[in-house]
Amino acid sequence: MECLVCNTKMEPYFEKKYDIKTHIFERCPSCGLVINSTVYNMSEAEWSDANNVHKSFQGEIDTQNPSWKKRISRLQPQAELVYQLYINGLFDEDTKAVDYGGGDGLFSEMIQKDYLEKCHTSQKKFLVKTYEKYLQIKDKDGYYNEQDMTPKSFDLAICSAVLEHMIGREDVDYFFNLVNDTGVAIIHTLICESVPQDPDWFYISMPVHCTLWTNEAMSRIYTQHGFVGCAYHLPSKMWLFFKDSEKYNLCKDISSKIPGEWTFSPSFVDYWKAPPYHHHAMDPR
């Protein structure tokens, strides 16, 4: 199999057993990307079923469920960051924004709640609407459909804990191509210097984490998609990729108003250079 980032032939890396089936992981010797090739070779129906099982806890509030608690602890600082970017002028109520792969829409609802309560506004339109391919949500506001997801149609595209679920270059390009020529992509996933050659690594406890990113691999994606500025916000564990230098500079200007450590660079910010790659800060879901 060829690497989705750089087309280099991938090499066997290690094997891991999930239930009764052994999965094979392969690594790119050039950019370090690691994939679960067993998952990559699943049928569309098998992959859809795996994602539905993975997201089965969504849509229900269960404060005693450890998965629910982890998810809330991840989303709260991320929703706060997006809210702060709105109130400090990087985005506004006319910004066309999507939370890509947002499942039950909780992230979008948290952003909306922050905005309504803290700004004392009656804004009814969702600031960030959700798009979800695998989890079917019925009779709920705040969603885009497939027809809305056209290239370069969004000012802001958010992808939180989804890039590790994507299979192949087509999936990755689909997300990043949503951003228009002055837009921003905001991502959250685990990106490390080198993926451990360890079948017991916490991050692959579930087979749906099938695309494992390195700094080099994401740096190449960043460059290939024409981004000109990158910011990393530590409390939210989120990267911001900018297509427009003016918007990038504006983010730098307002960053002092937003709590938490920031790192800025014209190239991809390779923040996590050494293990344990924020084990305790990263929700493995």
pLDDT tens per residue, range 83-130: 999 999 999 999 999 999 998 899 999 998 877 777 766 666 889 999
CATH number of the domain within which 201 lies = 3.40.50.150
Beta bridge partners of 192: 214
User: Residue 177, Cβ neighbours under 10 Å: how many?
Assistant: 17
236 in any annotated domain: yes
User: Does residue 213 contact residue 188 with C-beta atoms inside 8 Å?
Assistant: no
89 in any annotated domain: yes
What type of residue is 147? Q
Q: Which residues of 203-225 are buried (b: 16+ CB within 10 A; e: fewer)?
A: bbeebbbbbbbbbbbbbbbbeeb
Compute and round to an integer the Cα radius of gyration of the chain: 18
220 in any annotated domain: yes
Mind listing the pLDDT tens digit for each residue in 32-75? Answer: 999 999 999 998 888 777 766 655 445 555 556 666 677 788 88
270 in any annotated domain: no
32 in any annotated domain: yes
Total domain count for the chain? 1
183 in any annotated domain: yes
271 in any annotated domain: no
pLDDT at 276: 58
Mind listing the pLDDT tens digit for each residue in 217-226? Answer: 999 999 999 9
Among candidate residues 171, 247, 175, the one with its CA nearest the CA of residue 208: 171
Q: Which domain holds residue 227?
A: 11-265
Round to whole Å and give the CA distance between 26 and 110.
Answer: 37
275 in any annotated domain: no
Mean confidence (pLDDT) of the chain: 89
What is the reported pTM?
Answer: 0.91
Q: How many helices (H) and strands (E) does the chain have?
A: 7, 12
